[in-house]
């Protein structure tokens, strides 16, 4: 007998398995029931018979019957019981599995059950190994020998005690009757196979890493603990609850709606890449693909969040909003998202940028939110943080969701997209083709590359912002080409001036600046599209230096064409001047003036240069600012007009809000 460990083991080492083990014990008791349990038979050794042996197949049949599972599952279940140490095999004792044949097993005595609270100690193991060594030298397996040597070294100080114990147990065992001795030896051996498994086997006792909290420790039930719990519970009671029926039907509806989009439940067209090694499905469903699939478009109709989270869907929605002249809502929402998830360093600038573009009185893309929200937002912007625009964003989101989303789904834009959407044919691969596919497997596109593509897209988008779109007060003139100034905030500071104009077919502008790499003729063709798609014509370069070189390039080009530098410069310089003027006026909220209201004049930040013939003075130009006047002066001299967003009221130095 081993000495019981007096230290209370808190059952910690069994904790992750305790629930499982308790259930297993219940099953075991049932199995041992003499009437309804597994039939047992005596085991015949050479001269002795040992009762209560059971066959593997009996165990499996009983389990299959009891739990109503098939043989394979019953077998796994039985193997689990063996692995936990509740049943041990009499033959092939090292493999802890149930064999579905007549191999014999026996129930382990409760003394050796895993739920016993005493820990499996190395001392006990050392005694056990020593005992076996005494009985017959050389009987230990290789791994047992290694353990023995290790323990011998480690427990050298109490090795005498161990050997003494071992001898004592050996002697006591000899005094037992043969059947009892055999049984006990088997039991003990099985116990140690479970708790000191041979290397390379999976041990059921392996539960991973210990938990920190002691499961048996009493919780500190201080009055404070109760009070906190009560406060929490009271708050919980007062929380509004939705009726179960409503909530459950929402869940059920969700499952039903998405069922055809769940690849585990429905086929996906053209074919599941995992099955056929053909990546067409992924290519067709790239984030920014031109023509989406029908399934994808269908998904956009499920909820507004779905539409916005899909980049292609968002693009479509943006197109629709552009036609409705409410693109600023989406742009604002996107700006807020960018603020929320972006880096802290740029947060301040972003917040200001958003304010100037969308929220300030007279902002070029003013969004329509109620006064209260505006007030909160403006106040919050004095000390901008990541979530300062949350109320406004929520308001705009709900606006879009309740209003624009519904109209979008009925709009021609959406219907057109839906019509064009492709429904790919299902692939029918022969086996040979499948083999081919497997060989041609390409590695997937790295997310970093995808991100770069996205950034490029974004940059393109930023350059073609909706303000190029004419406001509703104008009628589009056929030869009109609309341009945008730089709207990238940091670069605007970096590179003043730089308004870019493209050729117009009817009246060639004295100034033409090369944009990107598009040739003049291309631009002309695109610009004659007239409609304010804006995309091809204006492409804001990324950096100041680049634009400067472009300027130089274009100047050379102009000179070649025979424009007089004078007229060109005349128009250029005032703009340059005014632009620098404006950019200098666009100051970020200086930290030493926190109480100051946000900057006054920001209208000229976005300069809409409209190249129209002088007789078409559509826009009312009311400006009281000095740079406006300077621009007006230059306006007289040059054909190119410079119009500020007309729906803004140019109030100088007024403060906003």
Partner 1 sequence: MGEMEELRKEAESLKDQITAARKTVQDTTLQEAAAGITAVGRVQLKTRKTLRGHLAKIYAMHWGADSTLCVSASQDGKLIVWDSITTNKVNAIPLKSSWVMTCAYAPSGNLVACGGLDNMCSIYNLKGKDGNVKVMRELAAHTGYLSCCRFLSDTEIITSSGDCTCVLWDIETGTEKTIFAGHLGDCMSLAVSPDFKFFISGACDFTAKLWDIREAQCRQTFSGHESDINAIGFFPNGNAVITGSDDATCKLYDLRADQELNTYQDSSIMCGVTSLAPSVSGRLLLAGYDDFNVNIWDTLKSERVGVLAGHDNRVSCIGVSSDGMACCTGSWDSFLKIWN
Footprint of partner 1 on 90-119 (CB under 8 A): none
Identify which of 76, 93, 55 has the alpha carbon closest to the alpha carbon of residue 194: 93
Of the residues 5, 9, 13, 18, which one makes contact with partner 1 according to CB under 8 A = 18
Site size toward partner 1, by CB under 8 A: 88
C-beta of residue 625 within 8 angstroms of C-beta of residue 616: no
Instruction: State yes or no: residue 624 binds partner 1 (CB under 8 A).
Output: no
Q: What is the nearest approach in angstroms of partner 1 to the Cβ of residue 356?
A: 24
Question: Which CB atom, from 227 or from 403, has the smaller least distance to partner 1?
Answer: 227
Q: What is the nearest approach in angstroms of partner 1 to the Cβ of residue 305?
A: 7
Q: What is the nearest approach in angstroms of partner 1 to the Cβ of residue 287?
A: 9
DSSP state of 44: E
C-beta of residue 108 within 8 angstroms of C-beta of residue 191: yes
Q: What is the nearest approach in angstroms of partner 1 to the Cβ of residue 166?
A: 34
Contacts of 167 (CB under 8 A, 6+ apart): 134
Instruction: State yes or no: residue 217 binds partner 1 (CB under 8 A).
Output: no
Question: Which CB atom, from 354 or from 360, has the smaller least distance to partner 1?
Answer: 354
Instruction: State yes or no: residue 344 binds partner 1 (CB under 8 A).
Output: yes
- Binding-site string for partner 1 from residue 276 to residue 295, where x marks contact by CB under 8 A and - marks none: -x-x--x--x----------
Q: What is the nearest approach in angstroms of partner 1 to the Cβ of residue 221?
A: 7
How many whole angstroms separate alpha carbon 503 and alpha carbon 506? 9
Question: Which CB atom, from 7 or from 442, has the smaller least distance to partner 1?
Answer: 442
DSSP characters for 147-175?
HHHHHHHHTGGGHHHHHHHHHHHHHHHHT
- Binding-site string for partner 1 from residue 183 to residue 202, where x marks contact by CB under 8 A and - marks none: -------------------x
Number of residues that this document lists for the chain:
657
Give Cα 434 to chain centroid, integer Å.
Answer: 32
How many whole angstroms separate alpha carbon 245 and alpha carbon 360? 45
Of the residues 10, 152, 181, 261, which one makes contact with partner 1 according to CB under 8 A = 261
Question: Which CB atom, from 342 or from 614, has the smaller least distance to partner 1?
Answer: 342
How many whole angstroms separate alpha carbon 657 and alpha carbon 382? 13
Identify which of 339, 258, 247 has the alpha carbon closest to the alpha carbon of residue 303: 258
Q: What is the nearest approach in angstroms of partner 1 to the Cβ of residue 186?
A: 25
Of the residues 23, 150, 402, 419, which one makes contact with partner 1 according to CB under 8 A = 23
Q: Is 655 left (phi over 0), alpha (psi -120 to 50) or beta?
A: left
C-beta of residue 252 within 8 angstroms of C-beta of residue 246: no
Supply angle C-alpha 171, 177, 179, rounded to 5. 120
How many whole angstroms separate alpha carbon 327 and alpha carbon 504? 26
Stretch of 147-155, 219-227, 530-538, 630-638 contacting partner 1, by CB under 8 A: 219-227
Q: What is the nearest approach in angstroms of partner 1 to the Cβ of residue 437?
A: 11
Instruction: State yes or no: residue 36 binds partner 1 (CB under 8 A).
Output: no
H or E element that contains 88 = strand 87-89
- Binding-site string for partner 1 from residue 121 to residue 160, where x marks contact by CB under 8 A and - marks none: ----------------------------------------
Instruction: State yes or no: residue 76 binds partner 1 (CB under 8 A).
Output: yes
Instruction: State yes or no: residue 242 binds partner 1 (CB under 8 A).
Output: yes
Q: What is the nearest approach in angstroms of partner 1 to the Cβ of residue 250?
A: 6
Of the residues 33, 136, 244, 592, which one makes contact with partner 1 according to CB under 8 A = 244
E strands within 216-331? none
For the segment 425-484, give every residue that binds partner 1 (CB under 8 A).
Answer: 441-448, 450-451
Q: What is the nearest approach in angstroms of partner 1 to the Cβ of residue 337?
A: 10
C-beta of residue 317 within 8 angstroms of C-beta of residue 308: yes
**3 state SS of 54:** strand
Q: What is the nearest approach in angstroms of partner 1 to the Cβ of residue 363?
A: 27
Task: State phi, psi for 605 to the nearest 5 degrees.
Answer: -60, -45
Instruction: State yes or no: residue 633 binds partner 1 (CB under 8 A).
Output: no
Task: State phi, psi for 54 to the nearest 5 degrees.
Answer: -125, 150
Question: Which CB atom, from 102 or from 230, has the smaller least distance to partner 1?
Answer: 230
Q: Tally Cβ neighbours within 10 Å of residue 240.
A: 4
How many whole angstroms separate alpha carbon 262 and alpha carbon 268? 8
Give Cα 420 to chain centroid, integer Å.
Answer: 30
Question: Which CB atom, from 1 or from 242, has the smaller least distance to partner 1?
Answer: 242
Q: What is the nearest approach in angstroms of partner 1 to the Cβ of residue 348?
A: 14
CA distance readout (Å), 121 to 102, 192, 195, 405:
34, 11, 10, 68
Q: What is the nearest approach in angstroms of partner 1 to the Cβ of residue 399?
A: 18
Stretch of 245-253, 495-503, 526-534, 606-614 contacting partner 1, by CB under 8 A: 245-253
Instruction: State yes or no: residue 1 binds partner 1 (CB under 8 A).
Output: no
Of the residues 35, 153, 177, 243, which one makes contact with partner 1 according to CB under 8 A = 243
Question: Which CB atom, from 271 or from 411, has the smaller least distance to partner 1?
Answer: 271
For the segment 475-534, give every residue that binds partner 1 (CB under 8 A).
Answer: none
Q: What is the nearest approach in angstroms of partner 1 to the Cβ of residue 493?
A: 23
Question: Which CB atom, from 198 or from 637, has the smaller least distance to partner 1?
Answer: 198
For the segment 360-419, give every residue that binds partner 1 (CB under 8 A).
Answer: 387, 390
Identify which of 4, 61, 13, 70 has the alpha carbon closest to the alpha carbon of residue 38: 61
Q: Strands across the sheet with 104-107, in order? A: 41-44, 49-55, 104-107, 87-89
Q: Is 519 exposed, middle or buried (0-12, 13-18, 19+ CB in 10 A)?
A: exposed
Of the residues 45, 229, 398, 552, which one makes contact with partner 1 according to CB under 8 A = 229
Stretch of 1-9, 88-96, 275-283, 408-416 contacting partner 1, by CB under 8 A: 275-283
How many whole angstroms separate alpha carbon 607 and alpha carbon 644? 6
Instruction: State yes or no: residue 227 binds partner 1 (CB under 8 A).
Output: yes
Tokens of 480: 């009109």
- Binding-site string for partner 1 from residue 303 to residue 332, where x marks contact by CB under 8 A and - marks none: --x---------------------------
Q: Where do runs of H (alpha helix) occur along 178-222?
A: 178-195
Compute, in degrees rounded to 10, the torsion defined by CA atoms 126, 130, 132, 138: 110
Q: Is 366 left (phi over 0), alpha (psi -120 to 50) or beta?
A: beta
């Amino acid at each position: 007998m081993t000495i019981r460990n007096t230290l209370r083991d808190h059952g910690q080492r069994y904790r992750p398995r305790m629930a499982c083990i308790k259930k297993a014990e219940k099953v075991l008791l049932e199995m041992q029931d003499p009437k309804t349990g597994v039939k047992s038979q005596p085991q015949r050794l050479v001269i002795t018979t040992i009762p209560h042996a059971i066959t593997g197949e009996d165990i499996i049949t009983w389990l299959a019957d009891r739990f109503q599972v098939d043989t394979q599952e019953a077998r796994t279940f039985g193997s689990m019981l063996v692995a936990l140490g509740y049943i041990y095999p009499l033959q092939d004792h090292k493999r802890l599995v149930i064999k579905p044949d007549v191999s014999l097993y026996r129930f382990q005595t409760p003394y050796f059950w895993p739920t016993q609270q005493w820990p499996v100690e190395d001392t006990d193991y050392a005694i056990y190994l020593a005992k076996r060594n005494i009985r017959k030298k050389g009987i230990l397996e290789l791994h047992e020998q290694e353990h023995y040597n290790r323990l011998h070294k480690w427990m050298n100080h109490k090795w005498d005690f161990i050997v003494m114990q071992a001898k004592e147990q050996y002697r006591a065992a000899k005094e037992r009757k043969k059947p009892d001795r055999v049984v006990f030896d088997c039991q003990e051996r099985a116990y140690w196979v479970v708790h000191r498994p041979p290397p390379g086997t999976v041990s059921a006792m392996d539960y991973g890493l210990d938990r920190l909290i002691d499961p048996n420790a009493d919780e500190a039930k201080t009055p404070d603990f109760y009070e906190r719990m009560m406060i929490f519970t009271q708050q919980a009671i007062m929380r509004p609850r939705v009726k179960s029926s409503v909530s459950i039907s929402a869940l059920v509806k969700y499952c039903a709606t998405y069922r055809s989009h769940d690849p585990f439940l429905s086929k996906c067209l053209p074919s599941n890449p995992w099955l056929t090694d053909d990546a067409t499905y992924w290519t067709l469903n790239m984030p920014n693909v031109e023509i989406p699939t029908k399934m994808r478009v269908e998904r956009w109709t499920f909820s507004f969040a779905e539409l916005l989270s899909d980049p292609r869907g968002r693009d479509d929605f943006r197109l629709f909003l552009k036609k409705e002249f409410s693109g600023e809502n989406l742009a604002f929402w996107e700006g807020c998202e960018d603020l929320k998830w972006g880096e802290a360093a740029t947060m301040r600038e972003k917040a200001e940028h958003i304010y100037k573009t969308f929220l300030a009185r007279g902002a070029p893309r003013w969004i329509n939110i109620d006064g209260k929200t505006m007030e909160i937002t403006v106040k919050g912007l004095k000390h901008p943080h990541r979530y300062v625009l949350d109320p406004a964003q929520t308001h705009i989101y709900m606006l879009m969701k309740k209003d624009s989303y519904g109209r979008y789904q009925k709009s021609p834009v959406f219907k057109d997209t839906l019509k064009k959407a492709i429904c790919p044919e299902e692939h029918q691969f022969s086996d040979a083709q499948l083999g081919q596919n497997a060989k041609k497997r390409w590695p997937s596109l790295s997310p970093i590359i995808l991100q770069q593509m996205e950034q490029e897209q974004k940059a393109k988008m930023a350059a073609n912002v909706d303000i190029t779109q004419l406001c509703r007060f104008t009628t589009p003139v056929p030869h009109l080409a609309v341009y945008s100034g730089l709207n990238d905030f940091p670069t605007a500071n970096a590179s003043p001036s730089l308004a870019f104009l493209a050729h117009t077919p009817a009246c060639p502008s004295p100034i033409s600046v090369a944009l990107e790499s598009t040739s003049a003729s291309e631009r002309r063709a695109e610009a004659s599209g007239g409609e304010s798609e804006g995309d091809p014509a204006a492409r804001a370069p990324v950096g100041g230096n680049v634009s400067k070189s472009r300027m130089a390039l274009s100047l050379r080009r102009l000179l070649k064409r025979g424009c007089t530098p004078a007229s060109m410069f005349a128009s250029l310089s005032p703009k340059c001047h005014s632009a620098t003027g404006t950019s200098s006026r666009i100051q970020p909220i200086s930290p030493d003036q926190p109480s100051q209201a946000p900057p006054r004049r920001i209208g000229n930040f976005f300069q809409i240069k409209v190249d129209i013939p002088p007789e078409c003075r559509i826009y009312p130009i009311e400006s009281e600012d000095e740079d406006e006047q300077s621009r007006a002066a230059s306006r007289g001299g040059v054909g190119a007009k410079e119009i500020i967003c007309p729906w803004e009221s140019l109030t100088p130095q007024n403060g906003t809000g």
